[in-house]
Amino acid sequence: GAGVSQSPSNKVTEKGKDVELRCDPISGHTALYWYRQRLGQGLEFLIYFQGNSAPDKSGLPSDRFSAERTGESVSTLTIQRTQQEDSAVYLCASSWGGNNEKLFFGSGTQLSVL
Amino acid sequence: RKEVEQDPGPFNVPEGATVAFNCTYSNSASQSFFWYRQDCRKEPKLLMSVYSSGNEDGRFTAQLNRASQYISLLIRDSKLSDSATYLCVVNNPGAGSYQLTFGKGTKLSVIP
């Protein structure tokens, strides 16, 4: 596609349920990032994938959060046993992977945990 | 000390004004610096990269001071369409990762 695609755009779930968020990066982009943005707050780094290297998971807030990426394509972010504090917009971004490369963001998934 | 700090604002300025934002970062090993713009309820978009020598793009000028570890963004002749939140972004090198850390942003409102 022309840009970074995220799905679903909105997700409402009950506390304790698992959710899976999907990101389709721009074709050819080797780097992929997940960020979380709570209402009125800044972007919080979660995880970074670069090619076939081990991902940088240093931003994942707890072991309930995990992410995978198949090669240089789709990534999924999974949140297990969701809590109300997980409510936020989850943003995915991709880039060509080199230093100083521009990040292209998807429009995000708005997650609401009731 | 937070990794990337910005004055949250809001900055309320009249059309045509000049406004400047500053951002400080804590990791002296950082090598890449950017300003992104985020409109309300939208995703961030790159405004400009920041180079050591300073760089200008139309009404926007970015500067980097490595010794003091701060970055600035100057907007001249403000337009209504400049109203947005401006995000300072810095890479955090380490363990081979090119992690990018975003500041919380400075909100700008340009008033007619």
Q: Residue B95: pLDDT above 90?
A: no
Question: What is the distance between the alpha carbons of residues A15 and A112, in angstroms, rounded to a whole number?
Answer: 9
Longest C-alpha distance within chain B, in Å? Answer: 48
Q: pLDDT digits over B10-32, tens only? A: 999 999 999 999 999 998 988 88
**Environment class of B74 (CB within 10 Å of its CB; exposed 0-12, middle 13-18, buried 19+):** middle
Check B49 against A100: CB less than 8 A apart: yes
Q: What percent of the residues of chain B are helix, what percent strand, and what percent coil, each to the nearest 5?
A: 5, 55, 40
For chains A and B, what is the number of CB pairs under 8 angstroms? 50
Residue A15 in tokens: 């506390």
pLDDT at B6: 94
In A1-114 the beta strands, taken as DSSP E runs, fall at: 5-7, 10-13, 19-24, 31-37, 43-50, 65-69, 75-79, 88-95, 104-105, 109-113
Residue located via tokens 């400009």: B48
Average predicted confidence (pLDDT) for chain B: 92
Check A99 against B43: CB less than 8 A apart: no
Kind plus residue range of the DSSP H or E element containing B34? strand B33-38
Chain B residues in contact with A97 (beta carbon < 8 A): 98
Q: pLDDT digits over A82-105, tens only? A: 999 999 999 999 998 876 778 999
Q: Are A89 and B44 in contact (CB under 8 A)?
A: no
Q: Are A53 and A72 in contact (CB under 8 A)?
A: no
Check A35 against B87: CB less than 8 A apart: no
* Among B45, B98, B104, the residue to mutate for chain A (most A Cβ within 10 A): B98
pLDDT at A71: 81
pLDDT by residue, tens only, chain A of 114 residues: 589 999 999 999 999 999 999 999 999 999 999 999 999 888 999 999 998 888 999 899 999 999 999 888 899 999 999 999 999 999 999 998 876 778 999 999 999 999
